[in-house]
A and B are shown apart, each in its own frame.
Chain A
Amino acid sequence: MEQSTSPKFKQNAHHALHDASLQRALGRLKTGFKDKRLAAIADMPEFEQLRDTARDIKNHTLANLDHYLTAFEANVIANGGHVHWCADAEEARQTVLKICQDKKAKSVLKGKSMISEEIGLNAFLEKQDLKVVETDLGEYIIQLRNEPPSHIIAPAIHVHKEQVADSFRQTHKGRDINRPLDEPRDLLDEAREVMREHFFAADVGITGANFLIAETGTSVIVTNEGNGDLTQTLSKVHIAIASLEKVVPTLEDASSILRVLARSATGQEMSSYTTFSTGPKRDGDLDGPEDYHVILLDNGRSNMLGTEFQEMLRCIRCAACMNHCPVYGAVGGHAYGWVYPGPMGSVLTPSLIGVDEAGHLPNASTFCGKCEEVCPMRIPLPKMMRHWREREFEKHLGPQSMRFGIRLWAWFASRPALYGKATGLAARILKSIGGRKQKIGKLPLASGWTDIRDLPAPQGKTFKQLWAEQQAAKKA
């Protein structure tokens, strides 16, 4: 997915706010994610210490990233696997294609992978006449609908079950057209049946990776459905695609971070399947892939090191920030216009596709701080969104009117006497406009405020005027 619609964030948001079915889906975030996270954390008294530990592990890893990546690489090779360093999306796509071509592959199965979304892998492989099937139920649903994911762990969160049924009836031919597909169970059973046929026919299985473990050359996926396991076990070739900041030093370090991952994401203590994969199948193994490849993708991340955005590389993609974000909760994931929505996307996306393209994202935040409060890796997301606003301001990227407004305001605000006169006058005028009702329904140049809400009228004099009068009266 290379083309973004992030510059149209406002229009996207407008549509999202008027999409009743999306709004219904977003209404489920509270019971679906937030309440469960709270309950899981209540059962883990060490949760805050675990967050500190998780943060420290990643900080240590990032500070020694070259060493841990080369150790990881050496251990993958020692176990009979291959590592491919890819500087950008195009190199990663070409590398995957070459592996498929070398195996004369016709079909590719995919476990859920945000990196493959980032590099637009599906569309690319399909153009090369490969059949690509997403195996995660949510990813499968949006693949049928020809949509990008709207959430990083629940990609089809915006889709309701009637829409899923429609897609299934259109796609799954040769079945009774009147079969019942009313309940989530019916839909799941049909998807399970259809997917089984795909699993047994696949040549190449592609998964993402939640962690890469330097100590052992292992890639780890964290899943609930089991599709990732079948994808990587039944195919002849397993390709794990990971961005380079996924590496952690040891099995113990991965375990520590796993303790905060599922709890923050879905409120589970641990996901159903945590799968540590190392190399291809071994001598004597009766199943498993013949080849094991790891695609190590940079795509802009190495240039985040040493900048004010380095801490973003601690992100473990749990989605707690978007689950709790009131802006995400209002507009959903598609409005953000690229792969990563919500607060983590508002910081990461400008790093990957440029702040000139994604400038809206770090601005569309009230800085309420909820994302940082729930981030298991203690990433200071609001602070980094502010840093993006600083970069925008330096580059003159924001709207000129806003820039002019801020500068004009600052000019007044650094001249107390003049400012006092101006606000005193404004308070008096606004009070008289407000009249008896003490509120203003419409005001020139303030439609951003008054389109949505009334403006409460000031009381008539400023505090400083009244205070000065009171002090003078006391002296008199």
Chain B
Amino acid sequence: MSFAPSSASSASSPSSKPRVGLFVTCLVDMFRPTVGFSAVKLLEEAGCVVDVPMEQVCCGQPAFNSGDLESARKVARPLIAMFENHDYVVAPSGSCAGMMIKHFPELFANDLELAEPVRALAGKTWELVSFLTDVMKLDGVAAAFEGSITYHDSCSGLRELKVKEQPRKLLRSVKGLEIRELQEPETCCGFGGTFCVKYPEISGKMVGDKTTDIKNSGADMLVAGDMGCLLNMAGKLRREGSDMEVRHVAEVLADMTMAAPGIAGSEKG
């Protein structure tokens, strides 16, 4: 495995290894623990010490995006102290990381006591793959996958955190893996949190366009970096009778594709 963690900060860690708090995210926690373990494996192999605070639940985004700021603060507030002593906070999700990086400062803007800790948290929080490439300076991984994948750019990671090249760079290093780009990799899949159940018909049209694009790519596997989008796309593929394998990017990079069947079944690949 080619990694060079030496440049990373390690201020409060007794060893020279940076201490990373994993924010596993509520969807990974409940639906896809494999992604959490993949993240741990990638981080450890990149030279981090990984810690998982057990009191963590959710970043509060569902309430924040529903206009319920009070509930959002109630759910989000515990995370601020929970990750106070970590060098970095890493989440296998552009959406949840984006919430903590871009929206926590806004959510707690009027809280004088929390303004500074929130700013510090936002400053050290990363989406998993961009953390590996941009902070840990990873150029490649030691994984193998014989086949082709197509990659969906999840909106929050792409537009809030500029995650675009990073996953492709690491995926290209996976032995045997070929990337087949979608016609419109940056077009939303129609998940949108509560949107997909508030406006199911519109969401259905959007995810239908997406799965058409996915199937037309001819790839063996669909890969993305956010559990919400993955559940939406995998669910639609199954409803349409496709058994295409669907996985979180962390599973592929951590070489964990043999550890568990893909999302919503299908063991091809």
Chain A interfacial positions (CB closer than 8 Å to B): 10, 13-14, 17, 326-327, 330-331, 363-370, 372-373, 386, 388-394, 398, 402-403, 406-407, 409-410, 413-414, 416, 419, 423, 426-427, 436-439, 441, 446-449, 451-459, 461-464, 466-468
> Which residues of the other chain, B, contact A373 by a CB distance below 8 angstroms?
159
* Binding-face segment, B111-119, B129-137, B196-204: B196-204
User: Is there an interface contact between B205 and A17, defined as CB atoms closer than 8 Å?
Assistant: yes
On B, residues with C-beta under 8 Å from A are: 24, 26, 28-37, 52, 54-58, 60, 62-69, 71-72, 74-75, 78, 155-156, 158-160, 186-188, 190-207, 209, 230-232, 234-236, 238-239, 246, 260-261, 263-265
- Minimum distance in angstroms from A75 CB to a CB of chain B: 41
Residues from chain B with a CB closer than 8 A to the CB of A398 are: 66-67
Q: Shortest beta-carbon distance, B70 to chain A, in Å?
A: 8
Min CB distance, A450 to chain B, in Å? 8
Q: Are B29 and A464 in contact (CB under 8 A)?
A: yes
Cβ of A24 to closest chain B Cβ, rounded Å: 14
Please indicate the chain B residues that have their CB under 8 angstroms from the CB of A389 in the complex.
65-67
Once A14-B201, A452-B200, A455-B235 are accepted as A-B contacts, the answer to whether A462 and B74 lie under 8 Å apart by CB is: no
- Please state if A402 and B194 are interface contacts (CB–CB under 8 Å): yes
Chain B residues, Cβ within 8 Å of A13: 199, 201-202
Number of A-B residue pairs at CB separation under 8 A:
213
A231 CB to closest chain B CB (Å) equals 38
Given contacts A386-B67, A449-B235, contact A454 B29 (CB under 8 A): no
- Does A449 lie within 8 Å of B197, measured CB to CB? yes
Interface centre among A366, A410, A467 (most CB of B within 10 A): A366
Instruction: Kindly provide the distance from the CB of A76 to the nearest chain B CB, expressed in whole angstroms.
Output: 41
Q: Which residues of A contact B190 (CB under 8 A)?
A: 326, 366
Cα A392 to Cα B67 in complex, Å, equals 7
A463 with B24: CB separation less than 8 A: yes
Given A409-B62, A448-B200, A456-B264, A368 contacting B188 (CB threshold 8 A): yes
Question: Which has the most chain B C-beta neighbours within 10 Å: A392, A406, A410?
Answer: A410
A368: chain B residues within 8 A (beta carbon): 155, 159, 188, 192
User: Cβ of B68: which chain A residues have Cβ within 8 Å of it?
Assistant: 393, 403, 406-407, 410
Closest B residue to A424 using CB positions: B30
Instruction: List the B side residues contacting A448 at CB < 8 Å.
Output: 196-198, 200
Contact B52 A464 (CB under 8 A): yes
Contacts of B232 in A (CB 8 A): 453
**Sampled A-B contacts (14; CB under 8 Å):** A330-B205, A369-B156, A369-B158, A370-B159, A393-B66, A406-B71, A439-B264, A447-B200, A454-B235, A454-B238, A456-B246, A459-B33, A459-B34, A467-B36
